[in-house]
Structure 1
Amino acid sequence: MAEGVPWGEPDGDAGGGARDPARRERAERIRESFVVVPLLGMAAAVALAVFTILLDMALSWLVAESGAQDELSTTLQTLTDSANAVLGTAGPATLTVLGVVFSITLVALQMATGQLTPRVLYMFTRGWLAKLTLAVFLGTFVFTLVVRYAGGLLADDDTGTPFVPVSSTAVAMLLVGASLVAFVYFVDGTVKMMRPTTVLDRVGRETLRQIRALPRDTVPPPRKAAVAPLGEGGGDGHVRTVRSRSDSGVLVRVDTARLLRWAVKNDAFVRVLREAGDYVATGSPVLEVRSPRPPERLDRVAKAVRTGAERSTFQDPAFGVRQLVDIGVRALSPGVNDPTTAVQCIDRLQLLVEEFAQVPQGERVVRDRGGRVRAVVPLPQWEPLVELAFTELVLFSSGQPQVTRRLAAALDDIEAHVPEARRPALHRARGELRRVCARSMPEGLVEFAQTADHQGLGG
């Protein structure tokens, strides 16, 4: 297994190739931030404005040196006035449109998440389309502002050379055009975000990617009392419990590269006690460390456990399943009463559960270059994930034959694709579905409601 590969990315055994964990961490932070990309766009706009100003200064100097300045004075004045008019209009108009569009979009997204689940709003902040659109709009505004300010300064200098912002105006027009194109794509993407099928597809694709990235180098989970390094036979040593030093929040990722470096330096073995998605309070136990000598700098290894304000699908595929279930349950509530959306959720859940059935059960192990186990990290387990995917939907499917029939088809299909050892969890879900149908359906429809149908009521 690749050394120090975060379990949100495929390791060498999974065929994905190892990636630098620090680079992966930075990429995730940029993706989750709604600030970095727009700020980079503004910085790029400033650099572009400086370049075009220098180019316009060179062109103006060439005109002055050619001796044709007097003959072209009228034309140059017309170009300067036109350019200033374009620059003076483009910037404020861009900023005004930006404010209106994003205000309306946020209201529309809030209404859409009210019909689905608030937990899908993070897709808007993680999506590149909104960040790039904001970067283009703000970049256009900053570019025109810098060019206008520089043009005013250069027009009042003592050299007598007129400053004609030809290239700056041309670039400003291109940026305005880019803003219009970005606006069209942004509106299109936002409208799609209001459609349940688009949200379900995005959640399903991201979760499927994380499930396929789960490591295949695992060991069976030990009993709670076991803390000895796997395969080392135990023995005497120093056992320490490391408590969280981060702010209280949800465990969003474990930096396995940091765990590995610290464990090798201290000749230690580390077990992560909490799973991704668990709420971790400041000061609560998060790691168990065993080493032949007293370990040093426990505060450094504690930083490997990262918390955040809310869950993320990165390193936490169960969160994607949670979102789909929440959308399905809300669709089955009396206030919404939308069984078709619940059926669409089950379509995606079946695919995810079938894919998860290919993942070995146990804990993920992190080895050093010599192949020695240095850390173990909890992974999602089969039975809890099946219960998460189907228990609530089965209970809320009461009186909805379209949903019960689709659930029956999903459970049958999954059972046909998994080994015998994993079928008891599916049998329990199927048994509860029978009881729900028997309690909620008229006697003549009980058998009908339990008949497997991939479309619910499609025939």
Structure 2
Amino acid sequence: MKLPSFLLSLPFNSRLRSRARIWSVPLAYILAATILGHLIPQINFIIFPRLFLIDAGTASALLSTISSGMIAFTGFVFSMVFVLIQFGSTTYTPRLAGYLLQDPVVRHALGVFTGTFLFTLNAASYVNVRASEAVPNLAVIFALLLVTASSVMFLALIERVTSLRVSSVLHMVGSRGRQVIERMYTRRFAAGESEDLTDHQSMLEQVPLPLPPITQSLVHSGEPGIILQYHMDQLLILAQRAQGLIEIRYPPGDTLPDGAVILNLRGARRTIRPAFLRAAVELGHERTIEQDPKYALRLIVDIAIRALSPAINDPTTAVQALDELDDLLHRLGTRHLDVGILRSRQGVIRVLYPTPDWEDFLSLAIDEIRQYGAGSIQVMRRLQALLQDLLDVLPAERAAPVERYLQRVKNSVQHHFVDFQDRLSAQQADRQGMGLSRPIEALDDQTPPAA
């Protein structure tokens, strides 16, 4: 969706935007509760002046009890939630803590609990001030409904936090990765379609070389920042207005040191205000998945290699991580990855940005797990099944890197398993790791060594 033109003139602070996503839902509840806390008693006095269900003393005591109880309850519940989330994230990878805190259930629960407290606090003031005229029983009824909603959100929150099992966490990260892949890489290979050139070469063929001269640059200054995402629609509009080409130098996920050139404006007839360019670049302190499917792979690989550490020694978790990586690599391998170009409606190239190719994704998903899991029969078997399955669905031109990785896995098996029977078992391809093995196509040594 394109931003309205007037929004381009606002020099947004990208870090504030990132924080706003976390606190927007609770703040909305707080604002609504404050307004309703004043509005509902007024409606009660004006429209329903004779709605008497309970007396002033009972209403005041009830609202005061709910108000004081909810603030203590909110503090206790979220202290417990933050401890559980921190414990769970450090068990898998500490980089997951931010995603768990951004869960919609956590944000809505914080909003409902805080909103209930603020509403009852405001409503109680009307009971104490105007008790001689009428009691805002409508506000009392609404407060009781909010308590009920808080109870429901509490149960939902407990269910969500206690579901921090490794399978649920892996599925959550995998789902975020699948969403980004579906959004960024929309073109699939048709049945039987071949890839005449690599995606990178295909993209370069569309770019007029040499590039126009640089007319303006956006330079990062200050403390290091990680590129979270670019607002591509905004950059496209700016490039069209300047009648030039914006060349992005760093992909999402890269860390910018002081003095780094983030992007160049080339061949432009007009300059762009630096504030407009900065508003299109969102920086932060931790990577996100929004425009960076590599980070979804990174998180899953981190969980796998942590499980493979000698202190934990949990190869089954690594196999579960490979299940998610298998699906993500299938999706990436069957799509065109040459998405580093944005064109205007007239077909003119206006934005260039760097993108990973197929081998980048494959190396990220396989290398470290192959290295740290080389001594695990279960991991080696699952890796071979993953790579062999990829060979069945990929275009022919993408098969060569997969075949090289399959050979490297077999070399690792030969190197780490001295016993013939262990080596024989590790050379099986098995989607469950230690479940249903497939026939071995070829072994370097089919006979056991002489005793």
TM-score bracket for this pair, using the shorter chain length: 0.7 to 0.9
Residues 204 and 352 of structure 1 are in contact (CA less than 8 Å); yes or no, is this contact kept in structure 2? yes
Letter in 2 for 1:316: D
Counterpart residue number, 1:37: 25
| Separation in 2, partners of 1:265, 1:294 | 8
Map 1:379-398; keep pairs closer than 5 Å.
379-398=355-374
State whether structure 2 residue 116 is matched by structure 1 residue 140.
yes
Could you tell me which amino acid in structure 2 is paired with residue 184 of structure 1? L
Aligned residue type for 1:49: G
Q: Assess if the C-alpha contact under 8 Å between 2:18 and 2:284 holds in 1.
A: no
Choose the corresponding residue for 1:452, options 419, 429, 436: 429
Q: 1:302 to 1:94 in 2, by over 3 A?
A: closer
SS in 1 for 2:282: strand
Q: 1:341 to 1:121 in 2, by over 3 A?
A: same
Match of 1:5 in 2: none
CA distance in 2, matches of 1:105, 1:425: 44
| Counterpart contact for 2:228–2:252, Cα < 8 Å | yes
1:435 deviation in Å?
A: 2.2
Which runs of 5 or more residues in structure 2 are unaligned?
Answer: 188-196, 437-451
Is the Cα contact below 8 Å between 1:32 and 1:125 reproduced in 2? no
- What is the rounded CA distance, in whole Å, between the counterparts of 1:343 and 1:251 in structure 2? 31
Pairs aligned (count): 418
2: CA distance, partners of 1:283 / 1:239: 18
Q: Over aligned residue pairs, what C-alpha RMSD do you find?
A: 2.8
Separation (CA, whole Å) in 2 of partners of 1:243 and 1:332: 41
TM-score (norm 2): 0.85
Deviation of the 1:388 alpha carbon: 0.3
CA distance in 1, matches of 2:75, 2:264: 50
- CA shift digits 1:185-239 (9 cap, x unpaired): 00100111x2101100110011011011114589954699x9xx95556586455
1:168 matches 2:156: no
* In structure 2, distance between residues paired with 1:372 and 1:341: 48
In the TM superposition, what is the alpha-carbon distance from 1:297 to its structure 2 partner? 3.2
1:194-209 matches, within 5 Å, as: 194-209=164-179
**1:419 pairs with 2:395:** yes
Match of residue 53 from structure 1: 41
Are residues 449 and 44 of structure 1, via their aligned partners in 2, closer, same or farther at CA, if it must alter by over 3 Å?
same
CA contact (8 A) 1:240 1:288 kept: yes
Contact kept, 8 Å, 1:32 with 1:126, in 2: the verdict is: no
Quote how far apart the aligned CAs of 1:362 are: 2.9
- Alpha carbons of 1:337 and 1:195: their partners in 2 closer, same or farther (altered >3 Å)? same
For residue 315 of structure 2, the aligned residue among 339, 343, 347 is 339
What pairs with 1:1-40 in structure 2 (closer than 5 Å)?
Answer: 19-21=1-3, 29=17, 33-40=21-28
Of 233, 239, 243, 2:219 maps to 243
Query: Which 10-residue stretch deviates more, 362-371 or 415-424?
Result: 362-371
CA distance 1:108–1:305, shift in 2 (3 Å)? same
What residue ranges of structure 1 are gaps of 5+ in the alignment?
1-18, 64-74, 156-160
After superposition, the C-alpha distances for 1:44-79 in whole angstroms (9 at most, x for unaligned) are: 11222223211332367448xxxxxxxxxxx87x62
Is 1:212 the counterpart of 2:182? The answer is yes
Distance 1:295 1:33, change over 3 A: closer
Q: Is the 8 A contact 1:339 1:402 kept in 2?
A: yes
- For residue 128 of structure 1, report the CA deviation from its aligned partner: 0.9
Aligned partners of 1:235 and 1:195: how far apart in 2?
50
1:113 to 62, 72, 89: 89
Identity %: 28
Conserved 8 A contact 1:30-1:36:
no
Indicate conservation of the 8 Å contact 2:413/2:427, yes or no. yes
